[in-house]
């Protein structure tokens, strides 16, 4: 993984460096070596935006940006946490008792710990022991690369080591036999985000953090939870993530609103979700929904179709077709779903003007965060330089290969 500011390229911390940092922080905080270590990646969604909570298709890949969590059990039913992230809200360390049948955990401050509390509260196996843990992450907070799911899945994977219960205690690469169990883990992490962070997210972020596989994107059907690996192995190809480093406050209020608008249109058309709606049906039912609702639904229905086409294009190595679909996706997110912003539009336009770029689009919830660009690896430096020259703000760049999902790390 390389994080680059254009003129000087600096390598991004690898898992081994993050693990060393976590162990050092654990020793300083608790005076002993940790007994357990796990990691879980961030993700970028190549295409399929705002489709997951509409039971549609998404095509994310796991990143080489990861959250590492180290820890050890303790005997007094207390949980003691520390994060080294400078972007996390204060306090960076806290202690609380495990939930009991009479007293559940409650969300509160610091906000970063709510994701951990939610996973503990909803974890299905028992009895959980208390534990000490340190969190170190290279996934940027608030950048749209799913630092939250990375933390949730790292926590879940850690709890599996402490208290395996009826599920397999070790990460296994995704396979048909285990996908049901993986889906259950993802749903626990999703529930944690719903109830403890107040974000009504779909299940994509948790699934890709669990099921990512090196050299592959993952086509996820958010209705059936079926997954299909899509090869992304071509060494001539690169995926560039550009962080706009802006985060518009609008995002937190607009996300639940968009979700509600989608549900209202599906209901008006007599469908369970927009996944069941074809573009022709939407056009025919135009009078039944508001003008704004129609545009929101047109994005989702079109995006589900684009995502299926994009997976096919990647399977046959047709990067130009994939790139065209990315651009269509961005325009739809900008014009119909209205979740882009001037900074994201500027980054996309700048990328598309460089020869060797196949496609570019905003990625994540919108209103700031990141763009994702598919390009020839040989043009990456030139593209980053051109984007930075054209962009009114300061961009941060990440070049990533498709990486593995959550795993237990040897100590």
Q: What phi, psi does 139 have (nearest 5°)?
A: -80, 120
Instruction: Look at the block and give the residue holding tokens 């689009």.
Output: 361
Measure the CA–CA gap between 258 and 253, rounded to whole angstroms.
9
Structure tokens given for 226: 């079926």
Structure tokens given for 189: 């992490």
Count CA within 13 A, CB hemisphere, residue 112.
25
205 is annotated as an active-site residue: yes
Measure the CA–CA gap between 345 and 241, rounded to whole angstroms.
14
- Catalytic, out of 52, 205, 336, 404: 205
- With contact defined as beta carbons under 8 Å apart, do 73 and 35 qualify? yes
Measure the CA–CA gap between 408 and 36, rounded to whole angstroms.
8
Residues with a known catalytic role: 205
């Amino acid at each position: 993984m390389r994080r680059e500011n254009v003129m000087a390229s600096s390598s991004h911390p690898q898992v081994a460096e993050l693990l060393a940092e976590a162990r050092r922080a654990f020793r300083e905080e608790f005076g002993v070596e940790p007994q357990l270590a796990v990691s879980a990646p961030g993700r970028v969604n190549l295409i399929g935006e705002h489709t997951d909570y509409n039971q549609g298709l998404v095509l994310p890949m796991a990143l080489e940006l990861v959250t590492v969590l180290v820890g050890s059990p303790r005997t007094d039913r207390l949980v003691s946490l520390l994060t080294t992230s400078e972007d996390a809200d204060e306090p960076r360390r806290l202690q609380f008792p495990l939930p009991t049948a009479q007293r559940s955990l409650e969300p509160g401050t610091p906000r970063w710990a709510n994701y951990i509390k939610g996973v503990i509260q909803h974890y299905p196996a028992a009895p959980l022991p208390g534990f000490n843990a340190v969190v170190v992450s290279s996934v940027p907070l608030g950048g749209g690369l799913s630092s939250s799911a990375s933390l949730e899945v790292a926590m879940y994977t850690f709890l599996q080591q402490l208290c395996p219960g009826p599920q397999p205690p070790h990460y296994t690469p995704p396979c048909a036999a285990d996908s049901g169990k993986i889906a259950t883990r993802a749903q626990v992490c999703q529930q944690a985000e719903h109830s403890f962070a107040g974000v009504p997210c779909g299940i994509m972020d948790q699934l890709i953090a669990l099921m990512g596989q090196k050299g592959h994107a993952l086509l996820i059907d958010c209705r059936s939870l079926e997954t299909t690996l899509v090869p992304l192995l071509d060494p001539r190809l690169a995926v560039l993530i550009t962080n706009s480093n802006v985060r518009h406050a609008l995002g937190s209020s607009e996300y639940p609103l968009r979700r509600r608008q989608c549900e209202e249109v599906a209901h008006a058309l007599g469908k369970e979700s927009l996944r069941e709606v074809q573009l022709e049906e939407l056009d025919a039912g135009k009078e039944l929904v508001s003008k704004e609702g129609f545009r929101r639904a047109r994005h989702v229905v079109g995006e589900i179709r684009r995502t299926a086409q994009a997976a096919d294009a990647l399977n046959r190595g047709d990067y130009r077709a994939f790139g065209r679909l990315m651009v269509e996706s961005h325009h739809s997110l900008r014009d119909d779903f209205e979740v882009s912003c001037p900074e994201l539009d500027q980054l996309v336009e700048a990328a598309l003007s460089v020869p060797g770029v196949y496609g570019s689009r905003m990625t994540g919830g919108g209103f700031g965060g990141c763009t994702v660009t598919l390009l020839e690896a040989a043009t990456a430096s030139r593209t980053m330089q051109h984007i930075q020259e054209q962009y009114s703000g300061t961009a941060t760049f990440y070049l990533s290969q498709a990486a593995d999902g959550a795993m237990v790390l040897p100590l």
